[in-house]
């Protein structure tokens, strides 16, 4: 059993549970280079390729987000469903799930608009929307999980937004950082920066008039904050180390 992931991704030797020793390759390069190397190695050695953009089982897995959204909001369907976008796999899968639920009779789910929120990465929303991909260099958003210079599933992402008469917005790193603690404070959900980009995108869309004050919006939070601890710390700050005394706490409170 073989795994090839980017340097920033954690790889698990799940095969060990079945008595299979997994070999983990930590690629000293960009996300795009790791993706391409994985594809080449799978072709060369006959390995199973589980990359989300091409593996149909992964698409079906992401589709369950749309199935659950449709089921759970059937009595109060949203006007918009907003997803963060990197490769474009998640928004494509969620859209597929919603469309299929509509097809089997979830009639009250009257085709919500799909919104795509991305960080300031070269290939995020702007490039995905136009289909003109910049394949040079690295991504430049701090939201690690959507820091994707070359989106691999952009066509389906474009289709999801266009077919639903949706919209694309881009959030700055500063806006994403503000969204991480805001998401926790408003919902009790600890979101990684890439997931909190959804909330940042909703705020941006509201400011630009894409959404109005009465818009009923469902935000898809796609990743737990524990997935990107360093990103979360950048958003909320490092913890204070104190002695176990109230005076120590008071000193920090007064400085803050």
Separation CA 155–CA 129 (nearest Å):
9
- Predicted confidence (pLDDT) per residue in 198-240, tens digit: 999 999 999 989 998 889 999 999 999 999 888 888 888 888 9
- Predicted confidence (pLDDT) per residue in 232-255, tens digit: 888 888 889 999 999 999 999 998
Q: State the pTM of this model.
A: 0.80
Please report which helix (H) or strand (E) contains residue 91, including its range. helix 89-103
Q: State the pLDDT at residue 194.
A: 92
Q: Structural domain boundaries of the chain?
A: 2-45, 57-236
Q: How confident is the model at residue 20 (pLDDT cuts 50, 70, 90)?
A: low
**Which of 194, 188, 176 is CA-nearest to residue 236?**
176
Q: State the pLDDT at residue 18.
A: 56
% helix / strand / coil in the chain, to the nearest 5? Answer: 50, 10, 40
Its CATH architecture, for the domain 57-236, is: 3-Layer(aba) Sandwich (3.40)
Q: State the pLDDT at residue 8.
A: 41
């Amino acid at each position: 059993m073989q795994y090839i992931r980017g340097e920033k991704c954690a790889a698990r030797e799940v095969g060990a549970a079945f008595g299979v020793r997994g070999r983990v390759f930590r690629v000293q390069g960009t996300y795009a280079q790791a993706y391409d190397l994985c594809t080449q190695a799978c072709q060369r050695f006959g390995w199973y390729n589980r990359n989300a953009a091409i593996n149909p089982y992964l698409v079906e897995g992401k589709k369950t987000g749309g199935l659950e959204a449709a089921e759970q909001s059937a009595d109060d369907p949203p006007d918009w469903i907003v997803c963060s976008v990197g490769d474009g796999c998640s928004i494509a899968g969620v859209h597929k799930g919603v469309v299929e639920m509509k097809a089997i009779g979830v009639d009250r789910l009257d085709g919500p608009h799909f919104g795509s929120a991305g960080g300031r990465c070269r290939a995020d929303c702007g490039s995905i929307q136009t289909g003109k991909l910049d394949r040079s260099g690295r991504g430049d958003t701090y939201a690690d999980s959507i820091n994707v210079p070359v989106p691999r599933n952009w066509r389906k992402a474009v289709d999801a937004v266009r077919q639903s008469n949706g919209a694309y917005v881009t959030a700055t790193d500063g806006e994403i950082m503000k969204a991480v603690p805001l998401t926790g404070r408003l919902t009790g959900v600890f979101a990684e920066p890439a997931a909190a980009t959804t909330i940042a995108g909703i705020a941006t869309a509201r400011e630009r008039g894409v959404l109005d004050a009465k818009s009923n919006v469902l935000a898809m939070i796609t990743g737990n904050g524990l997935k990107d601890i360093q990103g979360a710390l950048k958003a909320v700050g490092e913890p204070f180390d104190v002695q176990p005394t109230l005076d120590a706490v008071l000193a920090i409170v007064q400085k803050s």
